[in-house]
Structure 1
Amino acid sequence: MPTTRRAYLAAVGAAAAVGTTTGCLGGGSASALPDGCDVGSLESVSSLPRPALGPDDAAVTVDVFEDYACPHCQTFTQDVYPEIRSKYIDPGEIRYRFFDFPIPVDDEWSWRAASAARAVQDRAGAGTFFAFAKGVYDNQDQLSDEGHQVVHDVAEDLDLDGCAVAAAAEQEPYRSIVEADKRAGTDRGIPGTPAVSVDGEVLDGYGWDTVDTGIRRRLE
């Protein structure tokens, strides 16, 4: 089932009661910027294109709403998104669009990681944006304690200025864009994350079988 903040925190509380720890609970303090990352103040950015893959005139549009601190979004990005890309995006069957929907699962990094990702999009385009998003999800368990270092290192791995991306996480110059996405999702009745919408219909689940069926039904 998609993650809601109430359900997520309830699950964390239950785990803590039996001695299990988690790296995704909100409330931790922001980590310092990596050494040598003094880039000064960043200008606020209020508009960017929608991060998207696939042709503009594709027969089907798939919208995905995510929170970078949501463990179910991590599962979706690691396990389901590659299947969608291989079967439908790369052959040009669908237009695949990303929406930020910080619940927030983590009071800081649901927002900070989103701003870092938009900084990557602003500098390198949609393809690199999606590669960066996957890198963040691959290191999700480190976000709460080492988030600035995570976004810095993932950006550097993509041949981008890691300090600028870490500063975007710290200063959140893309916050208004992320907030606009959150409002759009709320207006569309998005219940939690990840949520997958196919031509405006929100699917009842995000597993591959559900998504594959939802897309094929629209393509037929």
Structure 2
Amino acid sequence: MNRRSFLTFTAATGSVALAGCTALFGASLPDELDGVDPDPDQLSTPTIGSNDVSIDVYEDLACPSCQEFQATVFPELEARVLDDETATYRHHDFPLPADEERSVPMANAARAVQAATGTDDEPSGQFFDYKGLAMDAGTPGDEELVAIAEAETDVDPSIVADALEEGTYYPTLAAEWEAADDRGIDRTPTVFVNDEEVEDPLDADEIVAMVEDAD
């Protein structure tokens, strides 16, 4: 089922979208990460803002429900609580995998962009821009992931190509998966506001209300 078909389906059966990707695919360590030594220090957590109120989002970039979150909820959060730094937003990779072939490569490519563009002042670099474009493309193949980097970021496309071929940021993804699993995450997207889980992660109003209550 492609992303467009899935989103049409979930619009008609809201309970599926609410349940998240694990209801369809199951939460399990992707084969690519099996046996990889987790390295939580390889890259920092992609973050927007620095407020004491935190929004922590666990995503599989190939998960259709996460792609719906990216397309509809994230822009609302940007406009209502991130642009004015009312909250800090943190992205956590949790490839279930929703797509056995694309979940890990998509996350790996996005982390390659982060590593190539991050600075001491902006350690996330162009991660969020690239992540959004990759998710909007559905489940892009390796060549498309490289093409997105070439067309839309300041990254030498060979950096993304090499990361995809070598699994450069698998240690980061393994560490992220392990941390999410230890926290009891079993579906994506899962959203917390100051460590309180959001009941419906696709309801921007609920997330904003929880931020405002915590502020």
Aligned to 2:86: 93
Aligned to 1:152: 146
In the alignment, the residues of structure 2 paired with residue 111 and residue 128 of structure 1 have an alpha-carbon distance, to the nearest angstrom, of: 19
- What TM-score, normalized to structure 2? 0.78
Aligned to 2:126: 128
In the alignment, the residues of structure 2 paired with residue 128 and residue 159 of structure 1 have an alpha-carbon distance, to the nearest angstrom, of: 8
SS at match of 2:168: coil
In the alignment, the residues of structure 1 paired with residue 40 and residue 188 of structure 2 have an alpha-carbon distance, to the nearest angstrom, of: 25
**The one of 20, 24, 33 aligned to 1:3:** 20
Aligned to 2:95: 102
**The one of 108, 125, 140 aligned to 2:138:** 140
Count of residues in correspondence between the two structures:
181
Work out whether residues 40 and 175 of structure 2, in 8 Å CA contact, stay in contact via their aligned partners in 1. Answer: no
- Cα distance, 1:49 vs structure 2: 1.2
CA RMSD of aligned residues (A): 2.2
In the alignment, the residues of structure 1 paired with residue 194 and residue 144 of structure 2 have an alpha-carbon distance, to the nearest angstrom, of: 34
In the alignment, the residues of structure 2 paired with residue 191 and residue 9 of structure 1 have an alpha-carbon distance, to the nearest angstrom, of: 11
In the alignment, the residues of structure 2 paired with residue 192 and residue 180 of structure 1 have an alpha-carbon distance, to the nearest angstrom, of: 17
5+ residue gaps, structure 2, are 1-17, 31-38, 119-123
**Which residue identity does 1:8 align to in structure 2?**
L
Work out whether residues 45 and 173 of structure 1, in 8 Å CA contact, stay in contact via their aligned partners in 2. Answer: no
- Cα distance, 1:191 vs structure 2: 2.4
In the alignment, the residues of structure 1 paired with residue 85 and residue 21 of structure 2 have an alpha-carbon distance, to the nearest angstrom, of: 32
5+ residue gaps, structure 1, are 11-25, 27-43
Percent of counterpart pairs with the same letter? Answer: 34
**Which residue identity does 1:98 align to in structure 2?**
H
- What TM-score, normalized to structure 1? 0.76
In the alignment, the residues of structure 1 paired with residue 88 and residue 207 of structure 2 have an alpha-carbon distance, to the nearest angstrom, of: 14
Structure 2 residue 76 is matched with structure 1 residue 60: no
- Cα distance, 1:79 vs structure 2: 0.9
Aligned to 2:170: 175
**The one of 208, 211, 215 aligned to 2:207:** 211
Work out whether residues 117 and 154 of structure 2, in 8 Å CA contact, stay in contact via their aligned partners in 1. Answer: no
In the alignment, the residues of structure 2 paired with residue 52 and residue 8 of structure 1 have an alpha-carbon distance, to the nearest angstrom, of: 28
In the alignment, the residues of structure 2 paired with residue 127 and residue 80 of structure 1 have an alpha-carbon distance, to the nearest angstrom, of: 21
Per-residue deviation, residues 81-137 of structure 1 (Å, max 9, x unmatched): 111111111111111111000011112211111111111000112141000000101
The verdict on how the C-alpha distance between 1:133 and 1:2 changes in structure 2, with shifts beyond 3 A counting, is farther
SS at match of 2:45: coil
In the alignment, the residues of structure 1 paired with residue 60 and residue 45 of structure 2 have an alpha-carbon distance, to the nearest angstrom, of: 16
- Cα distance, 1:4 vs structure 2: 3.6
Work out whether residues 115 and 174 of structure 1, in 8 Å CA contact, stay in contact via their aligned partners in 2. Answer: yes
Work out whether residues 81 and 208 of structure 2, in 8 Å CA contact, stay in contact via their aligned partners in 1. Answer: no
- Cα distance, 1:45 vs structure 2: 9.7
Work out whether residues 112 and 170 of structure 1, in 8 Å CA contact, stay in contact via their aligned partners in 2. Answer: no
In the alignment, the residues of structure 2 paired with residue 179 and residue 211 of structure 1 have an alpha-carbon distance, to the nearest angstrom, of: 28
Determine which structure has more spread, i.e. the larger CA radius of gyration: 1
Aligned to 1:184: 179
Aligned to 1:18: none
